[in-house]
A and B are shown apart, each in its own frame.
Chain A
Amino acid sequence: MTPWIATYLWLLPAVPLAVSLMILNLGPSRRAEAGTLAILGQIAALALAVTAFLPTLQAPGWRAFQNFTWFTFGGNALRIGWVLDPLGAAMLVMITLVGLCIFIFSVGYMADDRNFSRFFAYLSFFSAAMLGLVIANSLLLLFVCWELVGLASYLLIGFWIHKPSAAAAAKKAFITTRIGDLGLLVGIFWLYSGSGSLLFYDEGRGCLESAALLSLGTSATFIALLIFCGAAGKSGQFPLHVWLPDAMEGPTPVSALIHAATMVAAGVFLVARVYPLFSLGAVNGVTPSLTVVVWIGVTTALMAALIALAQADIKRILAYSTVSQLGLMMVSLGVGGVAAGVMHLLAHGFFKALLFLGAGSVIHGCHHDQDIRNMGGLRRLMPVTFLTYAVGMMSLSGVPLLFSGGWTKEEILHATAAWPPSHVPHYLLLAGVVLTALYMTRQIIYVFFGNRRAASEHARESPAVMTLPLIVLAVCTIALSVVLTPAWPWLHDYLIKETPHLDIARLRLVQPMLLLSLGLVTAGIGLGVLLYHKIGEIDPLARAQPGLFRFLENKMWLDELYARTVVAWSRIAACLSDWMDRHFWDGLVRGLGHVGQLFGIFTASFDEHGINTGVDEATTGTRGLGRIMSDLHSGQIQTYLGAIAIGMLALLVLAWLI
């Protein structure tokens, strides 16, 4: 039996969308109503998400979908619909819960902003689009929502539009993700022509079900890679990751919600959703497309972790950390650990949102200075922020046992260790674990320890409306680990559609990996403390390896490389087109115009002198004749009678002559 929520799943995105429109209609002056409405909408969405989550617990692998025809063209009906399954349900709960915390936090963070209402309208709009993306049962509907979250991201990155850097960052994010989306769109077309359906599940006819997959054959590899282009753009994978750090120009809650917890995870979610396409024809769990995903993910994870080591902006460090973690998730999906990747995605959603909100609280306290070199000693001034931030930091670093991030990261390491083709990704990820611990230690030492510096001089703890969401998220981060332990891998089994059961003995099995990751994290944190415990004017790394530091500080010169190549080429192409337009096409059009003009002059003169004169002459002649005729009509009846007589006589003479 289908529960009602599966039929009415569309309510989930509809509620925030309605709220967004209502807020926009309220106008900018109704600030309190706007905030309340947005939070109420998010609470409703959370309630619906939990309602949707409950039926998926009934049986392992429970799934319900609802399809209908959107429109018909020719003989083809384009069908869309929504689906409720463990993957989607878990995402729904995470998105709405994290979203609610961030909405509440925003009330405090954006309190002084002039465009408070607009901010909440955009946030609600984003929430609607993201929920739509998760429930979509059709690649087409998913793509529509995909573009809508892109739009919301664009609007919110450029929220402080008066800052030129924000406007540029919004544009960059929009255009860079569009490059990936082009691949995704081509993949969608190919998939539609190959399998004849864009529905994921449709009682055996969906494109993810065996019949359609068999008909795709080898083209599935190319379709999967094209879809991965879109996922790479959205999830900030190398080489399309450049937009994500720049997106930090947006308000911090936006960074937390869109550019850390939810939207950037959409790429990972997409790959997990269409995973059958990637794994089709797998030998030993390896396919060409999945191998590409693994190597891109490893490159991204390591590169971003290295860059994060040399950044000075508190949000940029977190942004590169997000890029790195998304790479980690991609690797996990690529090596076959779908559940591990999604688990890390869910856990990451909580602790990265926590870290970003913590950073937001710090920035709020430091009067919107974001440079960690100007902070310091905030531990005593902002105790709640510090404690929650530490929870997030340890979860991100992968400290085992207590924090959710540790468990999920370990799952991923397990999955990579078992990858048949190569062990290199596994070792590179182990290095990544050390780097993650290192840069997070560096950041936390800069911000919270040591002496107070310029920006932290007058810092104070944020109000309860901002610290409360931090506490909730920190509790979630720790509480989530309950369902992640190997002894009771409830979330893992839930996602891979098996019945979870408790087995303490399994704890022993994973001990080597547990000890290894504990050792690596300790090494990373220890190295961090050693390096950064006495920080002077110059970064210790910069003193030891100035060249390398400059290389990392400037993001491996990738932006400059793109500016010299892709951007420069498009600029040249634009100039060329402009020149063609101005001189060639313009001239052609103008010449044609002249020909038309000449013809016009010719016809005008023909009209004037030919036709007009003829008509004039004809009328004048007719008028003269009429005058003569009218003169004959004298009114003298005897003249008429005489004329008749003479006429008769003439006729008679004529008849007689003939």
Chain B
Amino acid sequence: MNSFISKQFPMNTMSRRLLRMLWPLIVVPLTAPALAADAVAAPSTAAADASSGAAAPAAPAADATGTTRSLDEGIQNLKKDVVDLNKDLFVLEEELLFPANTQVAVFVSMDVGDFFALDSITLKVDNHDVSNYLYTPREVAALLKGGVQRLYVGNLKSGDHELVAFFKGKGPHERYYQRAASIHFEKGVGAKYLELKITDHERAQQPEFEIKDWE
């Protein structure tokens, strides 16, 4: 046994053998550019903080093999097909359920929001409740960033109608606040869009609620 091992691993080449054994460990820090990628990643954190949202390189990537690339390409194509299909389904649903000649859509927008923290909105069309929506903080934030929510989509026949919106939330001084706004509108042949606008009235230090009829 002793002689066998000695033949296999002659002592005079120990250092070389050690290094051969250590080579896999050397490979990790040196042969893979992961180290370099790591290096880029770190300072960019500070960079991102300091430069108002500039994104930084993320974690290192291993070399993409042919197999994973081909699988990834296939999955990307499949995802694109799903997105296209999803769009076609959305179009079908809306055209089927809310045709343009009867469609009425109510949107919500919010500007500034210093004097009002939105909790919920209730909608009545021709004195019938059509929507009662409770907002999450994320949705409120989305409104404050400039998003406009399509709160309600429905169908109405041509003619005169009335929309009443009840806004609930916290007003100035953290007090419970409820206000209503209403509009009489005429539904014509095309789709009708109405916008509930919540804005701050700086001089009155109060929120303002109005409904805009988008002709």
Chains A and B come from one and the same complex:
no
Residues of A within 8 A of B (CB): none
Interfacial residues, chain B to chain A (CB-CB below 8 A):
none
